[in-house]
Amino acid sequence: MSRTLQSSAVRLIAAPPAQVDVDLLVVPLFEGEPIAESLNGLDSATSGEASRAVTSGELKGRPYDFFFTPVTSEWKARRIALVGAGRASELTLDRLRKLAAAAAMQARQKCIDRVAFLERGGLDGPGAVQAIADGLTLSAFSADQYKSGERLGPPPAEFTVVVPAERGTSIRELGDAVERGCVLAESCNIAKALSNEPSNVLTPREFADRAARIGRDAGLAVDILDEHQIARLDMGLLLGVARGSAEPPRVIVLRHEPSGAPSSPVLGLVGKGITFDTGGISIKPADGMERMKDDMAGGAAVICAMRAIALLRAPIKVVGVVPATENMPGGKAVKPGDVLKGASGKTVEVINTDAEGRLVLGDGLWYAQQLGATHLIDVATLTGACAVALGRAASGLFGAPEDWVQFVRETADRSGDRCWPMPLFEEYADQLRSEIADMVNSGGRPAGACTAAMFLKEFTGGLPWAHFDIAGVAWADETKPYQPKGATGVAVRALAELAFALKP
C-alpha cells in the first residue's frame, strides 16, 4: 500500500519501489554494494542487468556514474537508472542533493517525463527527502533563453521522491521537507537566472523591478530607493561608484515581518548588486570581462533568500538590502585619489576604482542598521584574492565576534553552502590607512580578501557580522553532472537557513 503527498513541484510517496509507476526510477548505488541483494526484486525486474553491470565492473558506484536499463517484468517503472553514490559511509545531504540534481539533468537531456528518486535511508529522513526534492527541482533551470536555434528541452513533467513504506517519520513531516526543498531550489534557480542575465538587460533599474516582483509575489514588503532618495540619505559611497554610469543606481529593500515575531533579533542581509563591473577608471583586462555581469550574484542571493524566508515562514524579522549600480569609466566617474563620504559619516580615499563592491556595501550595511538589523550578513563577489586562496571549493567567511562566525559557518555548511573561516587580524587595518581620509578603499595585493573584509567591518557598528566572499564559487567555469556551467546560486540556502537557526 502506498501513501502520496503532493507539493508544489515534487510529490512524495511511501511505497515499495516495485509499485512506483514512472518512466524512470533512479536508485543510488554505493561502492562495493551487491545491489541485487540490497534491493529485493531489482535484479529480476531488470533480467539480471543490475547485478551484471556491478559484477562486470561496468558500474562501480563512483559518484555520478549512471547505468540505464529497461524494466522487463514485475516492477511498474519503465526504466531504472543506477547512479553511483560513492561510499555509503561518506554519503551526506549535500551529495544526496547533487545526486538527485545529476539524475534530473540526465532525465531532462533524455526527454524523460516522469522521474522518481528512491531514498534508501542512512541519513535523517526529513533532511534526505528535502535534499532530494531540492536536487530534482534544480533541473528546471537552463541558461539558453537567448538562443534562437537548438535549446535544451523542458524538464521532466513530474518528479517523485520515494521513501520506504515502513518509514517511521510521519508522511506530513516528510511532505513539509519536500516543500522546503522545492522552495529553496526554486529560489536558487531564480538567483541563477538573475546572475546569468546580460547587463544590457539587467540594468540597476531592471534588477530593482524584478526584485520588487519577486518580493511582492512572496509576500514581502518592498521599497525601492531611487537616486534622489539615495542622495537624501547621503549614501556618498554608492553614489560615487554610480557616477560614471548613464544608468541611475537603486537600493532594493525587502522586509519579512511576520505577525508575532519578537522585536529582536532582526537579521540584516546585505548583497552586492553591481550589475556590471568594468573596474571603472582602474579598468579591468578585456579577457573575461564578460563574466562581470554576475557581479550582482550576492544581491541575487539576498533577494532570493528573502523569497525563501517569506514562503517558508521564518519566525524572525529579516531585512534584505541590495545597493545596485554599474561601475563604469564615464567622464563623471570617480577617479583614483578622490575622497567619498558615506552615509555613516566615514570618508574613503579611493585609490582603486575596481574596489567598488566594498564601497556600496558600506552604505548598505549602514542602511540595514537604520532599518533595525541587530545581526548582519553580507554576501559579495568581492575579491579575486579569495578565489586564489580557496579556489572553487568554498566561500571565504569573515566576521566578528568569533562565536557568531562559528554559528554562521555551521549553519552555512549544514545548508550545503560550504565556507571556510578567514582571519581579520588587526594588522590588516594598517593597510587601509589614508593620509587624507578615514581609510583607503584597497589595501593592495597582500591579504586582499582580508583587507577588503576589514574595510567592511568599519561599517558594521560593532554588531555581530559575517561576510561571505563568494567570488570563487558564484560562477561554475565548467559543467558538472549536477551543475551546468554558469551561475551557481550560492548562498541562497545559507541565508535562508540562518533565518530559522537564529533564535530570540
Q: Look up residue 458 and give its three cell numbers.
A: 568599519
Q: Please tell me which residue in 180, 358, 409, 493 is annotated as part of the active site.
A: 358
Question: Is residue 480 annotated as part of the catalytic site, yes or no?
Answer: no
Q: Rounded distance, CA 414 to CA 452, Å? A: 26
Q: Rounded distance, CA 49 to CA 46, Å? A: 5
Cβ neighbours of residue 202 closer than 8 Å, sequence gap 6 or more: 194, 210, 275, 293, 296
Instruction: Give 251's strand partners.
Output: 225, 323
Q: Look up residue 338 and give its three cell numbers.
A: 578622490
Question: Is residue 284 annotated as part of the catalytic site, yes or no?
Answer: yes
Q: Look up residue 368 and give its three cell numbers.
A: 540595514
Q: Please tell me which residue in 76, 110, 284, 291 is annotated as part of the active site.
A: 284
Helix (H, G, I), strand (E, B) or coil at 397: strand
Q: Look up residue 76 and give its three cell numbers.
A: 511498474
Helix (H, G, I), strand (E, B) or coil at 318: strand
Q: Rounded distance, CA 311 to CA 180, Å? A: 9
Instruction: Give the number of other CB atoms < 10 A from CB of residue 63.
Output: 19
Q: Rounded distance, CA 16 to CA 30, Å? A: 20
Cβ neighbours of residue 253 closer than 8 Å, sequence gap 6 or more: 222, 223, 224, 225, 319, 320, 321, 367, 371
Ramachandran angles phi, psi of 241, nearest 5° = -65, -40
Cβ neighbours of residue 371 closer than 8 Å, sequence gap 6 or more: 253, 255, 266, 268, 319, 321
Pairing of strands 66-70, 158-163: unpaired
Known catalytic residues? 284, 358
